[in-house]
Chain A
Amino acid sequence: MPDQDTMLGGYRVLDLTQDGCMLCGKVLGDLGADVFQIEPPGGSPTRNVGPFYHDIPDPQKSLTWFYLGLNKRGVTLDPETADGREIFKKLVKTADFVIESFEPGYMKSLGLGYEELEKIKPGIIMTSITPFGQTGPYAHYKVTDIVGIALSGIMWIFGEADRAPVRIPAPQFYAQGGLQGAMGTMVAHYHRELTGEGQYIDQSCQQAVILTLMNTAEVWDLNKFNIRGGGPGQWIPRQPPEPPIFARTVYRCKDGNCIVLFGGGAQAGFVASSKALVAWANENGYIEELKDYDWGGMDASSITQEFLDRRSQLLEEFLMTKTKAECLERAVKDEILLIPTNDVKDVAESPQMAYRRFFKSVEHPELGETITYPGFPVITSEAQPAIQRRAPLIGEHNAEIYEQELGISRERLVLLKSRGVI
């Protein structure tokens, strides 16, 4: 029976995914689903992705795996063997969701496509998360994070003007697909709850990243301009023949860097922020020449690059006298559009996230310690999504699931293991 205290209690997920696509099952697990991470015998390739616990490169110590495997039980299984497929089908009978991230067509080639699974378990929801979707010209391309990121357009909007566009070094491509795959899976689940009808979900990571491009496709559609990353600020297109202008947003301060929106025009918040920022600087004897500047009258079509550069220079001279902490304190107090660029230490030690108890301790008995993880980024008044268990070790729950749940005898399990099935 569904557990009343969670959103997905009582529902079972078979998760065959790898890398960032594992985020889909992780999120369903956060909501209370019983997720089985199914790995090939010997362990998932994702276990070889660093960083590693205490820098020990060991498949049982990948921190990437630790995070993406949260809230999952782990079994090993080779679906390419006939015995493996039979066991998988038995698991399907007990499941509500199957998630996979193999190359398009692979599951079908094993006789485990949606049509087959639907026959075994009517109403099942199957989610395939792949770089480009199941069909189309790129469907069988070889992909890594940077390749997917480049083909999704998001690299273009990051970078220096005089160098190649640049990617966020922590992989985002598959994670976006995994996260939006969880969203699509929940949409389909809602439908099933109302009608009993399951379905197949074809998630594209490229399309998921396209949905992070903000207004850049719209800028092309209306103004035929490609927004490109151009250093520590942004390029603002203007009606030709006026050239685009560059507005700095990254400023050095005493002990690091800050992001500041120092503008005006029609946005009341920008105007108030710039006024408050100049007032703060004036108190300290800086930016005197902009004391009475008409921020509300600022207009992208008439502003000059010289003015923007001068404004930026004055602001940086002032901020160089203040620390990140001083900047943030004043920004919050006076509603200034300014924030320090945190490093991961600042993130882990953020008083704001500590206040919300965002980071959660999880016991790792096998390491003899607890590790603190980022939690679920929504606090709910009921059925709070939460971390229930650490990521599984290789085949950790084989006995629990195969022996106790499916009733496969220990002798047979030994045989299956020696045959490389589990």
Chain B
Amino acid sequence: MAKQIFEGVKICDFSWVGVGPQAARELALHGATVVRVESHRRPDTLRVMMPFKDFTPGVNRSAFGCAYNTQKYSISLDYSKPRGQEVARKLIMWADVITDGMTPGSLAKWGLDYESVVKFKPGIIYYSTCQMGQQGPLNKFGGYGMFGAAYSGYCQVLGYPDRRPLPLYNNYSDFIAPWYLTVALIGALLYHRKTGKGMYLDQSQVEAGVTLLAPYVLDYIVNGRIAGRMGNRDPYMCPHNAYPCKGVDRWVVIAVRNDEEWQSFCKVIGEPGWCGEPKFATFIGRKENEDELDNLIGEWSKDYTPEQVMAMMQASGIPAGVVHTSGEGIVNDPQAKHRQAFRWLNHQEIGPLLHNTPSYCLSKTPANIWKAAPCLGEDNEYVYREILGYSDDDIAEMLVEGVITTEADVPGGSG
């Protein structure tokens, strides 16, 4: 395997939950050495959230706890203890990049925030990512991406006009923020190379969310329009919806962009009488009679599987697609398989476990993905001994003092 792009870049990863770990993962997938600093006393929230292997909770049994930590090393360290802070500082001296994904001010309590770190490690690259940003009237709001997505405007536009706003199960802003953060982080590494200067990156995940709603936000700023919910309709295309298909809870989406595609669409569905009605002949007419049109199409589509409808429409050049389930549909999707969107790596406690791969393929330096996400403290031996140079006696002492945490330190009930 060719030398990996970020080989030699060292990251000390204090971040947790969704966003911070993903930017570090992106570099880890391309060869950076990333050490997650974790503690059994206060495990990453995702380690105690489902899905668990065999539905049995445990800090090393959650696939969610693995999702953003592919290819990383994990140590268990209680840095609320003075000796733990000493170890953390030693790790920081080793690192090129420090990550923080906690509520603003959390790491300051232990002298591990940017202001403290830059004093003993000038020139460091350090990122902090949180819901609202490090400063400001709401900076201490410490929620999850579900809240970030709500605050950046997504819930209000998701769903149907006759129902209430909908939550975004995937904490959507958690999957916009990391990409900006990674771009800025790589920019910072190159800037450091060029100028020798370090950099502090302060990300607001809410703002990241707002950028992918920019046209709606501009529509308010410029035209005073407040976007509402419209189900699966589209202002510029008709028909445009998800239609019921044969089977239980099965759907296909169809989007007709222009009159030419409308003609082809009518041919594909066998030109039933209503297709020829003048009210459906123009875009304006179809739009004005959209409820009726959608019902008629649904009557047709329910006799076919979504795969059949997609094949028929695509063969005639009409955009259509199966509404895949979020798990089975995606994991078995032939295109996702072709791209190797998922790799099954052997997790120490879970066994073979699905891990994501980057959404881009690099022609000359493809990511070499080989290491499953670590169990909590899985790499203590390697990191404490090899990277930090502690002796057997030091390590034994720190275990006794509880500086290096173990399973015994997991808070009761979260087992």
Assuming the contacts A136-B334, A348-B217, asked whether A233 and B167 have C-beta atoms less than 8 A apart, the reply is: yes
Question: In the complex the two chains form, is A150's CB within 8 Å of B323's CB?
Answer: yes
Task: Name which residue of chain B comes closest to A48, CB basis.
Answer: B236
Task: Name which residue of chain A comes closest to B176, CB basis.
Answer: A179
Q: Find residues 205-242 in chain A having any chain B CB closer than 8 Å to their own CB.
A: 205-208, 210-229, 231-234, 236-239
Would you give 9 A-B contacts (Cβ < 8 Å), ordered by A? A51-B216, A169-B227, A179-B212, A197-B364, A210-B336, A232-B166, A332-B141, A345-B220, A380-B188
Instruction: Write the nearest CB–CB distance from B54 to chain A, whole angstroms.
Output: 8
Assuming the contacts A189-B186, A261-B144, A346-B153, asked whether A216 and B327 have C-beta atoms less than 8 A apart, the reply is: yes
Instruction: Write the nearest CB–CB distance from A150 to chain B, whole angstroms.
Output: 4
Question: In the complex the two chains form, is B323's CB within 8 Å of A165's CB?
Answer: yes
Question: In the complex the two chains form, is A4's CB within 8 Å of B242's CB?
Answer: no
Task: Name which residue of chain B comes closest to A248, CB basis.
Answer: B167
Instruction: Write the nearest CB–CB distance from A95 to chain B, whole angstroms.
Output: 18
Contacts of B218 in A (CB 8 A): 51, 63, 66-67, 371, 373
Total contacts A-B at CB 8 Å: 543
Contacts of A217 in B (CB 8 A): 326-327, 330-331, 342, 354, 356
Question: In the complex the two chains form, is A201's CB within 8 Å of B55's CB?
Answer: no
Q: How far is the CA of A215 from the CA of B240 in the complex (A)?
A: 29
Question: In the complex the two chains form, is A356's CB within 8 Å of B207's CB?
Answer: yes
Instruction: Write the nearest CB–CB distance from B168 to chain A, whole angstroms.
Output: 7
Question: In the complex the two chains form, is B49's CB within 8 Å of A267's CB?
Answer: yes
Q: A399: CB under 8 A from chain B?
A: no
Q: B314: CB under 8 A from chain A?
A: yes
- Point out the residue from B146, B156, B175, B187 that lies within 8 Å of A343, measured CB to CB: B156
Contacts of A88 in B (CB 8 A): none
Question: In the complex the two chains form, is B318's CB within 8 Å of A380's CB?
Answer: no
Contacts of A49 in B (CB 8 A): 215, 236
Q: B80: CB under 8 A from chain A?
A: no
Question: In the complex the two chains form, is A266's CB within 8 Å of B57's CB?
Answer: yes
Q: Find residues 297-337 in chain B having any chain A CB closer than 8 Å to their own CB.
A: 314, 317-331, 333-336
Question: What 0/1 pattern do residues 57 to 72 of B give for CB contact below 8 A with A?
Answer: 1000001101100000
| Interface stretch (choices B251-259, B273-281, B396-404) | B251-259
Contacts of B188 in A (CB 8 A): 7, 380, 382-383
Contacts of B6 in A (CB 8 A): 190
- Report, nearest first, the 6 A-B pairs whose CB atoms are least far apart: A220-B327, A184-B360, A266-B414, A7-B187, A212-B175, A136-B338
Instruction: Write the nearest CB–CB distance from B190 to chain A, whole angstroms.
Output: 6
Contacts of B174 in A (CB 8 A): 214
Q: Find residues 135-157 in chain A having any chain B CB closer than 8 Å to their own CB.
A: 135-139, 141-157
Q: B289: CB under 8 A from chain A?
A: no
Question: In the complex the two chains form, is B191's CB within 8 Å of A7's CB?
Answer: yes
Question: In the complex the two chains form, is A378's CB within 8 Å of B325's CB?
Answer: no
**Besides A31-B183, A345-B220, 6 other CB < 8 A contacts?**
A136-B335, A148-B321, A158-B168, A183-B179, A266-B48, A344-B213
Instruction: Write the nearest CB–CB distance from B272 to chain A, whole angstroms.
Output: 22
- Point out the residue from A8, A175, A227, A332 that lies within 8 Å of B169, measured CB to CB: A227
Question: In the complex the two chains form, is A347's CB within 8 Å of B323's CB?
Answer: no
Contacts of B193 in A (CB 8 A): 193
Question: In the complex the two chains form, is A137's CB within 8 Å of B338's CB?
Answer: yes
Task: Name which residue of chain B comes closest to A136, CB basis.
Answer: B338
Q: A293: CB under 8 A from chain B?
A: no
Task: Name which residue of chain A comes closest to B415, CB basis.
Answer: A266
Question: In the complex the two chains form, is B167's CB within 8 Å of A249's CB?
Answer: yes
Q: How large is the interface on B (under 10, 10 to 19, 20 to 34, 35 or more residues)?
A: 35 or more
Q: How far is the CA of A253 from the CA of B119 in the complex (A)?
A: 47
Chain A residues within 8 Å of chain B by Cβ, number: 163
Contacts of A347 in B (CB 8 A): 151-153, 210, 213, 217, 220
Question: In the complex the two chains form, is B322's CB within 8 Å of A269's CB?
Answer: no
Assuming the contacts A166-B166, A234-B169, asked whether A259 and B190 have C-beta atoms less than 8 A apart, the reply is: no
Instruction: Write the nearest CB–CB distance from A176 to chain B, whole angstroms.
Output: 8
Question: In the complex the two chains form, is A219's CB within 8 Å of B356's CB?
Answer: no
Q: A414: CB under 8 A from chain B?
A: no
Instruction: Write the nearest CB–CB distance from A142 to chain B, whole angstroms.
Output: 4
Instruction: Write the nearest CB–CB distance from B218 to chain A, whole angstroms.
Output: 4
Q: A78: CB under 8 A from chain B?
A: no
Task: Name which residue of chain B comes closest to A214, CB basis.
Answer: B170
Question: In the complex the two chains form, is B334's CB within 8 Å of A269's CB?
Answer: no
Contacts of A172 in B (CB 8 A): 212
Instruction: Write the nearest CB–CB distance from A183 to chain B, whole angstroms.
Output: 5
Task: Name which residue of chain B comes closest to A270, CB basis.
Answer: B45
Question: In the complex the two chains form, is B359's CB within 8 Å of A211's CB?
Answer: yes
Instruction: Write the nearest CB–CB distance from B267 to chain A, whole angstroms.
Output: 15
Q: How far is the CA of A210 from the CA of B219 in the complex (A)?
A: 28
Question: In the complex the two chains form, is B166's CB within 8 Å of A250's CB?
Answer: yes
| Interface stretch (choices A104-112, A334-342, A402-410) | A334-342
Q: How far is the CA of A332 from the CA of B103 in the complex (A)?
A: 12
Q: B84: CB under 8 A from chain A?
A: no
Contacts of A132 in B (CB 8 A): 335, 339
Instruction: Write the nearest CB–CB distance from B154 to chain A, whole angstroms.
Output: 6
Q: A353: CB under 8 A from chain B?
A: yes
Question: In the complex the two chains form, is A136's CB within 8 Å of B327's CB?
Answer: no
- Point out the residue from A180, A269, A297, A331 that lies within 8 Å of B360, measured CB to CB: A180
Assuming the contacts A136-B335, A165-B323, asked whether A257 and B155 have C-beta atoms less than 8 A apart, the reply is: yes
Question: What 0/1 pattern do residues 150 to 163 of B give for CB contact below 8 A with A?
Answer: 11111111111001
Instruction: Write the nearest CB–CB distance from A221 to chain B, whole angstroms.
Output: 4
Q: A181: CB under 8 A from chain B?
A: yes
Contacts of B164 in A (CB 8 A): 232, 250, 252, 257
Q: B206: CB under 8 A from chain A?
A: yes
Question: In the complex the two chains form, is A55's CB within 8 Å of B186's CB?
Answer: no
